[in-house]
């Protein structure tokens, strides 16, 4: 990966999931289709690779490049936000989701590791994570559900709205320089798990 363009231009690291429609598609928090055999005792090596490449390796490389770009451009007050998941803090009792949860726990650990590295580097760059519960997106459809099935699941379950997550990003970015929100866990009020 090359260096990102300069700070403030809204650029992001690009990773193309083979199941996304285009490069930089950010419509999902990982690749659910990779988790069809998310049971850790039945997953193939390819299942593991796909899930780790997207949810862990791509995130780690983009984070590394973002920090390097900020440092190269003299940006000492930048902010990195990892889009994690509630699954990075607990393991739901659904076997097909375990592999996904393992990778999201890695995101939780990586966020803390980067925070420690930034502090040791005596920089003011911040890192945060947002860990939402279920959000009303097309994630179910992208993970192989029929569109009607996915829409029914969203209607029947308590879900956060995409705007809820957006407002959390704005809240994190609007904190004063001496405040770093490290991990914002958010769930629908009526979530059952």
Active site residues: 100
Q: How far apart are alpha carbons 192 and 142 in whole angstroms?
A: 23
Closest CA to 94 of 129, 53, 143, 23: 143
Closest CA to 99 of 57, 186, 26, 39: 39
Asked whether the beta carbons of 73 and 6 are under 8 A apart, the reply is: yes
Closest CA to 67 of 1, 22, 131: 1
For the chain, give the number of residues. Answer: 193
Asked whether the beta carbons of 187 and 133 are under 8 A apart, the reply is: yes
Q: How far apart are alpha carbons 191 and 193 in whole angstroms?
A: 6
Using CA atoms of 98, 99, 105, 109 in order, give the dihedral in degrees to the nearest 10.
Answer: 160
Asked whether the beta carbons of 128 and 104 are under 8 A apart, the reply is: no
State the residue for tokens 């860990």.
131
């Amino acid at each position: 990966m090359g260096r990102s363009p300069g700070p403030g231009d809204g650029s992001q690291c690009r990773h193309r999931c083979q199941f996304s429609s285009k490069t930089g598609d950010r419509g999902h928090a990982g690749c659910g289709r990779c988790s069809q055999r998310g049971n850790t005792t039945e997953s193939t090596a390819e299942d593991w690779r796909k899930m780790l490449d997207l949810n862990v390796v791509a995130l780690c490389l983009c984070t590394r490049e973002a920090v390097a770009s900020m440092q190269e451009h003299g940006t000492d007050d930048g902010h990195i936000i990892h889009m994690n998941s509630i699954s990075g803090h607990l393991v739901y009792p659904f076997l097909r989701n375990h592999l996904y949860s393992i990778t999201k726990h890695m995101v939780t650990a990586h966020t803390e590791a980067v925070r420690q590295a930034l502090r040791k580097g005596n920089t003011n760059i911040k890192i945060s994570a947002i860990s939402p519960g279920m959000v009303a997106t097309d994630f179910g459809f992208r993970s192989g559900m029929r569109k009607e099935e996915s829409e029914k699941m969203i209607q029947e379950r308590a879900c956060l709205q995409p705007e809820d997550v957006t407002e959390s990003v704005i809240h994190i970015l609007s904190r004063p320089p001496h405040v770093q929100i490290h991990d914002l866990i958010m769930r629908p009020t009526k979530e059952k798990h």
